Chains A and B, each alone.
Chain A
Amino acid sequence: MPDGAAPVLAVRGLRTVFRTRGGEIHAVNDVSFHLERGELLGVVGESGSGKSVTMMSLIGLLPMPPAEIRAGTVMLGDQDLLRITPDALRDVRGAKVGFVFQDPMTSLNPVFNVGFQIAEPLRRHMGLTKAQAADRAVELLELVGIPDARKRLGDYPHQFSGGMRQRVMIAIALACDPDVLIADEPTTALDVTIQAQILELVKELRQKLGMAIIWITHDLGVIAGIADRVMVMYGGQVVEQAPVKDLFANPQHPYTRALLKTIPSLTGARADRLQVIEGQPPIMTAAPTACAFRDRCTHRFARCDAENPQRRSLDARPVGFGHDVACHWTPEAADA
């Protein structure tokens, strides 16, 4: 990761709110992060931590209303995606930013054949003719490892297995050679052997094509095997961010530590029970004024109720570039 070069994607102070009948839900609270060229950033957190909403906010995929982006900038190159017209944003979606969703069984349109569905962005963004788009679709299907690609162009999604469908989704996302690929839990709906195949495929594609990837998951095992850098989210905020080795070797946030403890170990003495994090993730009905994790935290002290912790760097590098954490607790605070 070259620190000096401009990041391909830089998000600053993103705030997304859902307006519902019961009041506002603050789903994303002041999230900042960046993505280097060719880097794979893992985003971890449990359901409702705001990881998917954050990524969908970036490229306007949230239904508005009820969603509303209150603040922030999303710089892709020199374009602020939150301030360009809807038409300009459509030119970005599918061309510069590809998206792979969680459930391949429902993410493809059942009444169009996959050839058509892959060709659609090619014709829209790259202005290819029908024949050119079909040729490129064959290339893409071969790239993602679907045998007999040309024959399968006319097949419909229901004629593919789950893993094969996810490969088709990846082919669609990669169709226009995007700078950024956002994968929202792409392996969660697949069984373990297929998961491993898809992971291998993504690793391989990354080497071949060199795009930057944001990989959303709640599976830390996947992250350890694939990511360069990890961002842990909780309550719509980034609570810890570090290069992958640092995070696993030296987790700082109590939530990160708790998450790591929940991974069942295959070696050593057999534990009686699986480790869990007690309690529920919070529903953010207001912008946080205290630590969002305090109700489930074992280190809770007075300051946690008074003030929402800001991200602070743990090494010499600025926040976002080294290892940083958003927590009041320090070993010194524990002594005091």
Chain B
Amino acid sequence: MLTYTLRRLLLAIPTLLLISLVIFFLVDLAPGSPASEIPLTVPPDVRAKILESMGINQPVYVRYLLWLKQFFYVEPLNGIDALFGTSFADGMQRIISYQTRGPVFSLIGERIPQTLKVIGTAYLVGVLIAVPIGIYSAYRQYSWFDQAGTLLAMIGFSVPTFFSGTLLIIIFSVMLGWFPTKYDTTLVVTDWASFVKQIKQMTLPVMTLGLANAAAISRYMRSSMLENMGHDYVRTARAKGMSERTVVLKHVLRNSMIPVVTVIALGIPSIFGGAIITENLFGVNGIGSALIGAIHGNDLPMVQTLAFIFAILIVLFNLIADVLYGLLDPRIRYD
């Protein structure tokens, strides 16, 4: 297993290099230039100097190699410096956003906690709701509970978040006044009162996204449970006199979790990708809105860096899903 994991990690390097190449050149091909953001009143010579300071005049392969060096060398060193107060990266050029003129990674560092807090909680809530619903729906197939679960999943699947989110705002914020309509990013949790406030402002976005996540995962869980429920080994477990609880929650669940764990693991990168619409709707100043803003502003380094980070996460969680698969299913061996 360890050898397999190491081999997969090594194989990830060429994969990621190829992805970085594609991302960098594709984004670079996009029409528009950061120069168009500079007002026309700026004299041409100043304009040229601004562009030069951005490094745009250099050929694309130079910029690519520079970006690679910054991404894999300078930025990690910066991270170490920030963590341990060292100064390895002093004087080295970091990846700079065209828009803010600040380092891209500082911007991401500002945005990611908001996204993780809201979208991550929503994913966790979705999984925690979906797994029990899926198990019980399958155990009592076609019962009223199963029908209700199917209806809920259908709603979660088919109603877009901009609708369900707005609906929740109208009901719970406008009509009932229980929760705020906007997420306040500047809120810092220091005591009980601010903690309650944080929970309150998270509730609606988490519910909106949680419903959508739970819909998909509960369906996977249900169908996987149903498939396993009909297997012969379930009858064997019953014939041994095991309780229904043991039969369902041990024998069937352990087998049913194998595909579901993979689905859950593969869904995790999407948390970091943020949920652009939901973030916008509730005013969560997260990574999704940062990406949209960067695309609008022709902020190529920002777009390239974010896209590449998502790619790394996807490759990483693919690997994690495969390793989990091998841990859960003894029939799968990676030697």
Residues of A within 8 A of B (CB): 59, 61, 90-95, 98-99, 101, 103, 106-113, 120-121, 124-125, 156, 158, 169, 172-173
B331 touching A90, Cβ below 8 Å: no
Interface residues of B toward A: which range? 20 to 34
**Binary contact track B236-277/A, C-beta < 8 Å → 1, others 0:** 111111110010000100110010000000000000000000
Whether B163 is near chain A, meaning CB under 8 Å from some CB there, is no
Residues of B within 8 A of A (CB): 231-233, 235-243, 246, 251, 254-255, 258, 328-331
Q: A90-B241, A92-B241 are in contact. List 17 more A-B contacts (CB 8 A).
A: A93-B238, A93-B241, A94-B240, A94-B241, A99-B239, A106-B233, A107-B236, A108-B236, A109-B237, A109-B251, A111-B329, A111-B330, A113-B330, A120-B237, A124-B241, A156-B331, A158-B331
B242 touching A90, Cβ below 8 Å: yes
B236 touching A110, Cβ below 8 Å: no
Checking B237, B241, B330 against A110 with a beta-carbon cut-off of 8 angstroms, the contacting residue is B330
Main secondary structure of the interface of B (DSSP, over half): helix
Chain B residues lying within 8 Å of A98, measured Cβ to Cβ, are 239
| Bound CA span A170–B241, Å | 15
Checking B240, B255, B258, B328 against A121 with a beta-carbon cut-off of 8 angstroms, the contacting residue is B240
| Bound CA span A113–B236, Å | 14
A109 touching B233, Cβ below 8 Å: yes
Chain B residues lying within 8 Å of A91, measured Cβ to Cβ, are 241
Chain A residues lying within 8 Å of B239, measured Cβ to Cβ, are 59, 61, 93-94, 98-99, 101, 173
Q: In the complex, what's the smallest C-beta–C-beta distance from B229 to chain A, in angstroms?
A: 10
| Bound CA span A95–B246, Å | 17
| Bound CA span A92–B255, Å | 26
| Bound CA span A113–B240, Å | 16
| Bound CA span A108–B231, Å | 10
A125 touching B241, Cβ below 8 Å: yes
A61 touching B237, Cβ below 8 Å: no
Query: Can you name 15 A-B pairs with beta carbons within 8 Å?
Result: A90-B242, A93-B240, A93-B241, A101-B236, A106-B232, A107-B236, A110-B331, A111-B254, A111-B329, A112-B254, A113-B330, A120-B242, A121-B242, A158-B330, A172-B240
Chain A residues lying within 8 Å of B251, measured Cβ to Cβ, are 109, 112
Chain B residues lying within 8 Å of A94, measured Cβ to Cβ, are 239-242
Chain A residues lying within 8 Å of B331, measured Cβ to Cβ, are 110, 156, 158
Select the residue from A92, A109, A124 with max chain B CB neighbours within 10 A.
Answer: A109
B330 touching A121, Cβ below 8 Å: no
| Bound CA span A284–B242, Å | 33
Chain A residues lying within 8 Å of B233, measured Cβ to Cβ, are 106-110
| Bound CA span A95–B235, Å | 15
Q: In the complex, what's the smallest C-beta–C-beta distance from A192 to chain B, in angstroms?
A: 22
Q: Which B-chain residue is minimally distant from A120 (CB atoms)?
A: B240
Q: Which B-chain residue is minimally distant from A56 (CB atoms)?
A: B235
Chain A residues lying within 8 Å of B246, measured Cβ to Cβ, are 120
A106 touching B241, Cβ below 8 Å: no
Chain B residues lying within 8 Å of A121, measured Cβ to Cβ, are 240-242
| Bound CA span A324–B330, Å | 51
B241 touching A95, Cβ below 8 Å: yes
B235 touching A107, Cβ below 8 Å: yes
Instruction: Give me the 8 closest cross-chain CB pairs, A-B, nearest first.
Output: A94-B241, A94-B240, A99-B239, A93-B241, A106-B232, A109-B233, A156-B330, A121-B240
Q: Which A-chain residue is minimally distant from B250 (CB atoms)?
A: A112
Chain A residues lying within 8 Å of B231, measured Cβ to Cβ, are 106
Chain B residues lying within 8 Å of A59, measured Cβ to Cβ, are 239
Chain B residues lying within 8 Å of A125, measured Cβ to Cβ, are 241
Q: Which B-chain residue is minimally distant from A118 (CB atoms)?
A: B240
| Bound CA span A103–B233, Å | 10
- The answer to whether residues A124 and B240 also contact, given A106-B232, A106-B233, A111-B254 and a CB cut-off of 8 A, is yes
A169 touching B241, Cβ below 8 Å: no
| Bound CA span A169–B330, Å | 19
Q: Which A-chain residue is minimally distant from B328 (CB atoms)?
A: A111
| Bound CA span A91–B241, Å | 6
| Bound CA span A109–B251, Å | 7
Chain B residues lying within 8 Å of A172, measured Cβ to Cβ, are 236, 240
Q: Which A-chain residue is minimally distant from B239 (CB atoms)?
A: A99
| Bound CA span A91–B243, Å | 10
A101 touching B255, Cβ below 8 Å: no
Chain A residues lying within 8 Å of B232, measured Cβ to Cβ, are 101, 103, 106-107
A111 touching B255, Cβ below 8 Å: yes
Chain B residues lying within 8 Å of A156, measured Cβ to Cβ, are 330-331
Chain A residues lying within 8 Å of B329, measured Cβ to Cβ, are 110-111
Chain A residues lying within 8 Å of B240, measured Cβ to Cβ, are 93-94, 120-121, 124, 172
Q: In the complex, what's the smallest C-beta–C-beta distance from A85 to chain B, in angstroms?
A: 13
Chain A residues lying within 8 Å of B241, measured Cβ to Cβ, are 90-95, 121, 124-125
Checking A61, A95, A112, A158 against B238 with a beta-carbon cut-off of 8 angstroms, the contacting residue is A61
Chain B residues lying within 8 Å of A61, measured Cβ to Cβ, are 235, 238-239
Checking A99, A109, A158, A169 against B255 with a beta-carbon cut-off of 8 angstroms, the contacting residue is A109
| Bound CA span A109–B232, Å | 8
Select the residue from B235, B241, B329 with max chain A CB neighbours within 10 A.
Answer: B241
Q: In the complex, what's the smallest C-beta–C-beta distance from A285 to chain B, in angstroms?
A: 23
| Bound CA span A124–B255, Å | 21
Q: Which B-chain residue is minimally distant from A98 (CB atoms)?
A: B239
Q: Which A-chain residue is minimally distant from B230 (CB atoms)?
A: A63
Q: In the complex, what's the smallest C-beta–C-beta distance from B79 to chain A, in angstroms?
A: 40
| Bound CA span A103–B254, Å | 21
Q: Which A-chain residue is minimally distant from B255 (CB atoms)?
A: A111
Select the residue from A98, A108, A111, A158 with max chain B CB neighbours within 10 A.
Answer: A111
Select the residue from A92, A93, A107 with max chain B CB neighbours within 10 A.
Answer: A107
Checking B243, B254, B255 against A90 with a beta-carbon cut-off of 8 angstroms, the contacting residue is B243
A110 touching B235, Cβ below 8 Å: no
Q: In the complex, what's the smallest C-beta–C-beta distance from A266 to chain B, in angstroms?
A: 34
